[in-house]
Amino acid sequence: MSQKKTEVYAPIDIESVSFRYGQQNVLENISMKIEKGSFLGLVGPNGSGKSTLIKIILGLLKPQNGKVRLFGERIEKFQQWDKIGFVSQKANSFNSGFPATVFEVVSMGLFGKIGLFRFLNKHHKRKVVEAITSVGMEKYIHQNIGQLSGGQQQRVFIARALVSDPELLILDEPTVGVDVQSVQQFYTMLKKLNQEKDMTLLLITHDMGAMTDYVTDVACLNKTLHFHGNSNEFVSNPDLSSIYGHDVHMITHNHGGH
């Protein structure tokens, strides 16, 4: 295959995608390009099709119409899945008896690359420590995952997704059940990953909350794509609040904390 080396392909390029479960249309004619280095917040009310769209992007569902390209390649042929990290909304559900440390859980993120039950070499161990440090969890490295708070567990799952150096990180409602203070720290951490590592981020949420302070772009989904643009444009667009209701109300945040 002859690809020009200098060309930067959009990590995600969705073209006229429609999807239905049985007779129910869930997504209608969605076209959306997510450029490298952007931090996109995908918002929409419950049942608006956000998770369905993510499943399509991850190749778990096949749309009835339209095309999806990942890093310039048609999804049907795409194989470099290690370029994509995914953290699901159900990630933070370990109970207190789960017998694995933070280090062990994050190491699992390397198994796709090195195979299960292989020993970690020095380089791998360094990657694991780096990933844990990048989410600010180094103090807890030898602690059992089940003994951490929901927000802390969620950071560990981000670290597990980061350890294989993905170029694109997709997070499906990662802040469900996480308190407001931790949510803001969490978004700050994501913004840092986006800016310092030039990682492309796609964050799905139905809660606008503080999100618009951190993302570069916003997409509003409710079966069709109502809006896709930069976050300043979104914030200054009063029409969106009538579609997205209370979720869209802007709050002035006190980043200093109380």
Ligand X SMILES: Nc1ncnc2c1ncn2[C@@H]1O[C@H](COP(=O)(O)OP(=O)(O)OP(=O)(O)O)[C@@H](O)[C@H]1O
Query: b/e for 20-59, b at 16 or more Cβ within 10 A?
Result: eeeeeebbbebebebeebbbbbbbbeeebbbbbbbebbbe
Q: Is 63 in the site for ligand X (CB under 6 A)?
A: no
Binding residues among 65-104 for ligand X as defined by CB under 6 A: none
Q: Is 46 in the site for ligand X (CB under 6 A)?
A: yes
Q: Is 209 in the site for ligand X (CB under 6 A)?
A: no
CB of 36 to ligand X, least distance (A): 25
Q: Is 52 in the site for ligand X (CB under 6 A)?
A: yes
Candidates 6, 21, 119, 142; binder of ligand X (CB under 6 A) is: 21
Q: Which CB, 21 or 117, lies closer to ligand X?
A: 21
* Total number of residues that touch ligand X (CB under 6 A): 11
Rounded CA-CA distance 154/177 in Å is 10
Q: Is 18 in the site for ligand X (CB under 6 A)?
A: no
Binding residues among 135-154 for ligand X as defined by CB under 6 A: none
Q: Is 206 in the site for ligand X (CB under 6 A)?
A: yes
Q: Is 245 in the site for ligand X (CB under 6 A)?
A: no
Q: Is 174 in the site for ligand X (CB under 6 A)?
A: no
Q: Is 47 in the site for ligand X (CB under 6 A)?
A: yes
Interacting stretch for ligand X, rule CB under 6 A, among 43-51, 97-105, 175-183, 237-245? 43-51
CB of 206 to ligand X, least distance (A): 4
Q: Which CB, 21 or 119, lies closer to ligand X?
A: 21
Which stretches of the chain bind ligand X, using CB under 6 A? 21, 26, 44, 46-52, 206
